[in-house]
Chain A
Amino acid sequence: ILNVEQSPQSLHVQEGDSTNFTCSFPSSNFYALHWYRWETAKSPEALFVMTLNGDEKKKGRISATLNTKEGYSYLYIKGSQPEDSATYLCAFNNAGNNRKLIWGLGTSLAVNP
């Protein structure tokens, strides 16, 4: 059974704080790792797709790193803003069935103004 685990489950930070969350996934047969942001009543929005060990991607104040050998990815948010409040989901593609995304439960972030 392929499991994707995310921690922490939820997080409350003050505006301006920097924060990070973790996604753990099976390190064997890795194909790709996806990060999504899901705001309430909106569509999940793709943030990053990462495929290479050591990969680092950045989008504004948000960045992510990937370690495929040990099976984890970190998502960082620098200088959190209230509009960053959302659930951050990671999903994993396995090389044996790479069309199918296996999802974590998400990290729910609340940024207080």
Chain B
Amino acid sequence: SAVISQKPSRDICQRGTSLTIQCQVDSQVTMMFWYRQQPGQSLTLIATANQGSEATYESGFVIDKFPISRPNLTFSTLTVSNMSPEDSSIYLCSVGGGGGTYEQYFGPGTRLTVT
């Protein structure tokens, strides 16, 4: 299994600002994913971060709001842009285990509160 770290672990941000969340993995991985969990909701996939190409976004998520970088096989960033209180969530990055069952390993999450 991979060891994944995220920065920051939590933040409180003002409406209209942007926050960039970093995800670092201790080994090279092909698939990296970004999720969010809004209060009272299930984990929802935002996008798949692809190394060397644009991220693949899920329905309801757009690049202008959630730009993603993936400069190499061990690192990715997610930016939450022009934040509103509805963006208050836990943001998680994960990596695919590479096995046929698509098991994923997660970072500890970034707890974001937008005021």
- Find B103's partner among A31, A41, A49, A89 (CB 8 Å cutoff): A49
- Find B45's partner among A31, A51, A93, A100 (CB 8 Å cutoff): A100
- Find A49's partner among B48, B96, B101, B106 (CB 8 Å cutoff): B101
- Find A103's partner among B9, B43, B96 (CB 8 Å cutoff): B43
CB–CB A46/B104 < 8 A? yes
Main secondary structure of the interface of A (DSSP, over half): strand
- Find B102's partner among A41, A45, A99 (CB 8 Å cutoff): A99
Shortest beta-carbon distance from B1 to chain A in Å: 8
How far is B101's CA from A103's CA once the two chains are assembled, in angstroms?
15
Residues A43 and B45 in contact in the complex (CB < 8 Å), given A34-B103, A51-B101: no
Q: Does B67 contact A (CB under 8 A)?
A: no
Number of B interface residues in the complex (CB < 8 A): 23
Residues of B within 8 A of A32 (CB): 101-102
Nearest A residue (CB) for B1: A46
- Find B41's partner among A42, A100, A105 (CB 8 Å cutoff): A105
Query: Which residues of chain B (61-115) have a CB below 8 Å from chain A?
Result: 92, 96-97, 101-109
Apart from the given pairs A89-B43, A99-B31, 9 other A-B contacts in the complex at a CB distance below 8 Å: A4-B42, A31-B102, A42-B108, A46-B1, A46-B103, A101-B43, A103-B43, A105-B41, A105-B42
Which B residues contact A (CB, under 8 angstroms)? 1, 4, 9, 31, 40-45, 48, 92, 96-97, 101-109
